[in-house]
């Protein structure tokens, strides 16, 4: 795993632990949306923080569960957006 | 449609959806309608409502053959925490739209809107033979966009500069859900 990707994953795990009522850091592939950890109300704060941290803009088209369903998915999504800029 | 739903009660995990009548509404209903935070992204934003407005709205909805206005009631306490409405706006093409109002802010962030909408959509497909559901929201309402895609909806179009939001015109997003979209995400519902 590239070091950038590890930094992103570690950041996301910490962020989710801080934002949601869970007792331990999620694994890379913990189901975040289907399990209800991230719901439609909670997503707003998450994407605000991600946009600020990585200086990216998440469009309406990208607000789909596939981009946020796990740490792996979110990390891949962020890297894709950063590469686009 | 009205014959089918006279005593409707759609059971969800910790709440149920029941026909809304004036006897069941909470005192707090009026408070929700006049709460800027609750109404920030809706057409109600900036308007004031009275008890008479609520009574009239319920009466008109319940008389209409196109509208199913349901309250969201907690199972244990029977507390009324919000509403969900199905409007069967195009009978020829079997199209309906769904809108929600979760007035009790203590229940935000608990997946209630998604669960209520999911159950009503399933009811609509199975019992009302609806072909497609439409969900819409303004672009700044990101929670609603995510709710729609979580339900399997696809973004079908954007109405440009269509809604005055906090002094500026913003785009309105229109999402559509077909049976195959919905039951792909919720295969367990296809048996119900």
Helix ranges (DSSP H) in chain B? 28-33, 51-63, 112-127, 142-150, 179-185
Contact A44 B145 (CB under 8 A): no
Q: State the smallest CA–CA distance between residue B111 and chain A in angstroms.
A: 6
pLDDT at residue A3 in the model: 67
Q: Which residues of B touch A63 (CB under 8 A)?
A: 142, 145-146, 149
DSSP state of B139: T
Q: State the smallest CA–CA distance between residue B144 and chain A in angstroms.
A: 7
Task: Report CA dihedral (B47, B53, B56, B57) to the nearest 10 degrees.
Answer: 40
Contact B147 A40 (CB under 8 A): yes
**With 0-12 CB in 10 A as exposed, 13-18 as middle and 19+ as buried, what is A46?**
buried
Domains of chain B: 9-191 (3.40.630.30)
Q: State the smallest CA–CA distance between residue B24 and chain A in angstroms.
A: 27
ipTM of the complex: 0.92
Q: Which residues of B touch A19 (CB under 8 A)?
A: none
Q: Tell me the CATH number at A39.
A: 1.10.1200.10
pLDDT at residue B25 in the model: 72
pLDDT at residue B7 in the model: 77
Contact A65 B110 (CB under 8 A): no
Single pTM value for the model? 0.92
Q: What is the mean pLDDT of chain A?
A: 91
The answer to whether residues B95 and B131 touch, using CB atoms and an 8 Å cutoff, is: yes
Domain range for A74: 3-19+27-84
Q: State the smallest CA–CA distance between residue A10 and chain B in angstroms.
A: 24
pLDDT at residue B1 in the model: 61
Interface mutation vs chain A, best among B13, B150, B156, most A CBs within 10 Å: B150
CA distance B146 to A63: 5
pLDDT at residue B103 in the model: 94
The answer to whether residues B73 and B16 touch, using CB atoms and an 8 Å cutoff, is: yes
Q: How many domains, in total, are found in chain A?
A: 1
CA distance B98 to B153: 12
Return the closest-CA partner of residue B111 out of B80, B82, B68, B154: B82
pLDDT at residue A35 in the model: 85
Task: Return the axis-axis angle of helices A3-19 and A71-84, rounded to nearest 10°.
Answer: 120
pLDDT at residue B92 in the model: 97
Of A42, A47, A61, the CB nearest to B109: A42
Contact A41 B109 (CB under 8 A): yes
| Phi, psi angle pair for B150, to nearest 5° | -60, -30
Below-70 pLDDT ranges, chain A: 1-3, 85
Below-70 pLDDT ranges, chain B: 1-4, 6, 191-192
Of A43, A44, A60, the CB nearest to B173: A60
pLDDT at residue A24 in the model: 85
Q: Which residues of B touch A40 (CB under 8 A)?
A: 111, 113-114, 143-144, 146-147, 150
Task: Return the axis-axis angle of helices B142-150 and B112-127, rounded to nearest 10°.
Answer: 50
pLDDT at residue A66 in the model: 95
């Amino acid at each position: 795993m590239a070091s950038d990707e590890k930094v992103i994953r570690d950041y996301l795990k910490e962020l989710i632990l801080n934002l949601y009522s869970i007792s331990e850091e999620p694994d890379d592939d913990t189901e975040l949306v289907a399990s209800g950890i991230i719901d439609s109300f909670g997503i707003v704060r998450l994407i605000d923080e991600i946009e600020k941290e990585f200086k990216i803009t998440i469009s309406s088209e990208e607000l789909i569960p596939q981009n946020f369903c796990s740490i792996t998915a979110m990390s891949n999504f962020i890297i894709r957006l950063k590469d686009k800029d | 449609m009205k014959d089918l739903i006279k005593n409707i009660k759609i059971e969800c995990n910790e709440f149920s959806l029941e026909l809304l009548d004036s006897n069941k509404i909470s005192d707090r209903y009026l408070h929700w309608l006049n709460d800027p935070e609750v109404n920030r992204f809706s057409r109600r934003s900036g308007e004031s409502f009275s008890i008479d407005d609520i009574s009239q709205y319920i009466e008109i909805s319940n008389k209409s053959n196109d509208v199913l206005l349901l309250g969201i009631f907690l199972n244990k306490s029977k507390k009324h925490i919000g509403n969900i409405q199905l409007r069967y706006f195009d009978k020829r093409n079997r199209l309906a739209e769904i809108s929600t109002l979760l007035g009790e802010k203590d229940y935000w962030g608990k997946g209630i809107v998604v669960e209520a909408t999911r159950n009503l959509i399933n009811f609509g497909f199975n019992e009302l033979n609806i072909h497609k559901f439409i969900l819409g929201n303004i672009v700044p309402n990101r929670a609603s966009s995510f709710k729609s895609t979580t339900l399997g909806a696809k973004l079908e179009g954007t109405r440009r500069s269509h809604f005055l939001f906090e002094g500026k015109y913003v785009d309105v997003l229109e999402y559509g859900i077909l049976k195959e979209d919905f039951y792909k995400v919720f295969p367990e519902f296809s048996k119900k």
